[in-house]
Chain A
Amino acid sequence: MKLDNDLTQDAELAGKLEEAEDVRRAIIHGEVDAFVIGEDNNRRVMLLANAYQRYRQVVERMAQGAITVNERGNILYANQRLAEMLSMPLARLYTAPIDTYVELNDRARLASFLLLSSRDSTIEVNLVRGDRAPLPVRLSLATLTDGYSTLLITDLRPMQWPSLTVDALDAIRDTVEKLNQRLSGDAEARESLASISEQINGLARMIDEMLDVENPGTKRTSSA
Chain B
Amino acid sequence: MSNPERWDLRLYTAGQSPKSLAALSNLKRICDKHLPGRYTIEVIDLMKNPRLAKDDEIVAIPTLVRKLPAPLRKIIGDLSDEERALVGLQLRPHRNGGQK
Residues on A lying within 8 angstroms of B by beta carbon are 19, 22-23, 25-27, 29, 31-36, 38, 40-41, 43-45, 47, 49, 52, 56, 59-60, 68, 70, 72, 74, 76-77, 91, 94-95, 145-146, 148, 150
B19 touches A31 (CB 8 A): yes
Please, which residues of chain B bring their CB within 8 A of the CB of A70?
21, 25, 28
* B-side interface residues, number (CB < 8 Å): 36
**B89 on interface, CB distance cutoff 8 Å:** no
A15 to chain B, nearest CB (A): 9
Distance of A139 Cα from B28 Cα, bound (Å): 24
B75 touches A22 (CB 8 A): yes
Please, which residues of chain A bring their CB within 8 A of the CB of B59?
23, 35-36
Known pairs A34-B60, A70-B21, A91-B42 / 6 extra A-B pairs, C-beta < 8 Å: A22-B77, A27-B60, A32-B61, A33-B17, A33-B61, A34-B46
Please, which residues of chain A bring their CB within 8 A of the CB of B17?
33-34, 47, 49, 52, 56
B50 touches A148 (CB 8 A): no
- Provide 13 A-B residue pairs closer than 8 Å at the C-beta atoms, listed in order of the A residue: A26-B77, A29-B77, A32-B62, A36-B53, A36-B61, A44-B50, A45-B50, A45-B53, A70-B21, A70-B25, A74-B25, A95-B28, A95-B43
